[in-house]
Structure 1
Amino acid sequence: MSSTAPSTDRTPLLRRMFDAAVAAAQPALCLPPHLPPPPKGRTIVIGAGKASAAMARALEDHWSGPLEGLVVTRYGYDVPCERIEIVQAAHPVPDAAGLAAAQRIRQLVTGLTADDLVIALISGGGSSLLVAPGEGLTLADKQAVNTALLHSGASISEMNCVRRHLSSLKGGRLAAVCHPAQVLTLLISDVPGDDPIDIASGPTVADPTTCADALAIVDRYRIAVPPAVRSLLESGAGETVKPGDPRLVGIQTRMITAPQIALEAAAQVARDAGITPYILGDSLEGEARDLGKAMAGIARQVAVHGQPFKAPCVLLSGGETTVTLRGKGRGGRNVEFLLSLAVALNGLPGVYALAGDTDGVDGAEEIAGAVLTPSTLARAWALGTNPRSSLDNNDGHGFFQALGDSVVTGPTLTNVNDFRAILVEG
């Protein structure tokens, strides 16, 4: 461990790693190799997610035959297309624009033939953007459940299990509507484990989970849901399309990029700078503040004892943590992780970090994340800010923004989940 603070500011290097991770997940780079030849019949493009508009543009730029379709993306994430209509809607809580878009997507793929091809462009954020309430439910019901799920501390897999069973399009239902057309789903993963059923709640893939599973999650986290929601789950009327369903036979699903690819791109930037990278995992989950404490312990062991890695090195990880809201501050899971990391490190010299969401939005704000330096806590105290109180109030954005340490990218037009890098100097 160094006896003095390092003279080199490592935050620019961390930012280059983050930018490389985002660049590696751009649809223009990773989508074209997966396109099939044009079909005998029509080609219909549909999609939902934060990256869906950029995916649509990449498809248009590399498609030789006739093309039509509609995709729905988050407000501010639209990309101009000529033949594919781009609709914008709300995320993470759905709105009427998303509902109307989902209805139009259903109409587009109804009544197709076996000669037709549907290309579904699916990425993170599609769960709220492709909002199609199940039988007996309203948009208000879906909004209430989404809000409650986001505050519950449930994992993304658990949240999407509930969402699938409250939808008329997710959990394979959209693919069933496309039958007998050919369906090719191109996925950009934003979920731990890269399971297609959890990306936008799996509108074009079979779902092995059940209404009973969804109801158990609601009860486990004591989520207050509207009566119509509980009734739908208890009755089993919200059941999804299961593996082996003949309407899904022959459907193709391709993962075009994922968190691991983004982390490998960041690792190469570190190597080029003479820093050894270690990818600890692309699917780390759990409470953001708990992961922050754990990662602080590893970083301290590296800095003080040279175990399990020798410094200088950078610890990279991805995945999606959760935040159980306790306070009323402005935050997101990445800044919650980073603030917890800062408190646990307590100004340890030679340790820098960046945590950010690759879609450019951490929580509900247009802020991707933030950076941490050895002077973070001292600067906060000088401003009269108590770091632990900020953490208790879930006020990560307020904390780092006051220091000028927020990471703001604007819409990145992709989404491979969270990016975390902790650099430990020798």
Structure 2
Amino acid sequence: MPVPVIAVFDIGKTNKKLLLLNEQYHIVFEQQTCMQETTDEAGDPCEDLHLLIHNMQQQLTAVLTMEAFEVKAVNVSAYGASLVCINENGAPAGPLYNYLKPYPEELLNRFYTAYGDRAHFSHQTASPALGSLNAGLQLYRIRHHQLSLFSRTCYTLHLPQFLSYLFSGQTFSEMTSIGCHTGLWDFIQQQYHSWVDKEGWLDKLPLIVPTTWTTLTQVQQHALHIGVGIHDSSAALVPYLLQFHEPFVLLSTGTWCISMNPFNHEPLTTEELQQDCLCYIRYDGLPVKSSRLFAGHMHEMAVQKIAAFFGDDQQHFKELPYDPQIAAQLAQSPEFSILEMSRYENSAVAYHHLVMMLVKQQQYATRLILGRTAVKRLFIDGGFARNNIYMQLLAKAFPEMEVYAATVSQASAMGAALVIHDSWNTQPVPANLVQLKHYA
């Protein structure tokens, strides 16, 4: 008998994965692809959209022919702040612009002059001013600098919804994508911000449906429930929301370390926005107050310098045990500095000092979003959850909280499967989606 599964495309900036999960949410098949970027018309790097489409269609065709599995549904978890314009034939009308693409300063000034100063606008839309990372501002740029693309555009889809549309043929919008620092959504009025209509984009944004929505469609003689897609950061939170009902904060660590408090529904303050706080929207529509720190990137750059100075292999630091004596010695030292590596007697001391600095910054960033919530548990997942020095120091930094390293296998993909559970899975949601390790 073939095993009933859901196929989830987990589309990151670097890695693109196809995973099959069975009804117990175990991964029974995984395929990973790394793709070369291409460039847009200005020569800036961007996703090779046509290659991505081709690869995903080929991969789904291949798994549908596997006799070991019966694919019941498909969903997509993908990165945010990225939009695809499609023409009247349903094909991409232009490139998938990179959210790191430089934004013209004069256009930014024109936007904020027209629609409220940066602080007020950021407050309304729960979006720090981030240029192209505010996906709505990408639409403003198209409207004013690329009129032919604007006129060719029939619909604009957020990336997760576009990739879902490839299989369902249905155009939809969805709140986890709209609500991730896009500058499109007025969090106070609970509707699209007035600028969206004034600039002529409202009619080009499809109907908003719940994240749990599916479309039943035929793909190569297979009846499949196609999910509407979900923003990957919001998807990673879903297993935690389903398993834990007492208030918690999730610190998701990677290139960016994002602290998410799903239990803090207080409006963002101007001070919080200035310190890179924002709101995501949960799959059930509630806001999630969050803060960001570029700590994974800082860690990677510094480790390269430490390894080069002391002649160590970079892998050596992954296994380094926590040394409380080194930590006590360094407690009174000035900030870690890459420029003063000679002051450390060995690489272990330098590395402890680096992690102490990152934890100090993380303590500040995470406390920003605690608010008045009764949060007693802090879950850490991703790369730093496997770093013993980081976890020991973080537990010291939050003595009033229970600090856990959390393990969820492929959290974003699992979240995408869980939000459409009722469409494909005949079993109850398992109670042990997340594994925890306590650090005292």
Q: Which one has a larger percent strand, Structure 1 or Structure 2?
A: 2
Q: Which has the higher contact order (CA 8 A, sep 6+)?
A: 1
The TM-score normalised by the length of structure 2 is 0.30
The TM-score normalised by the length of structure 1 is 0.30
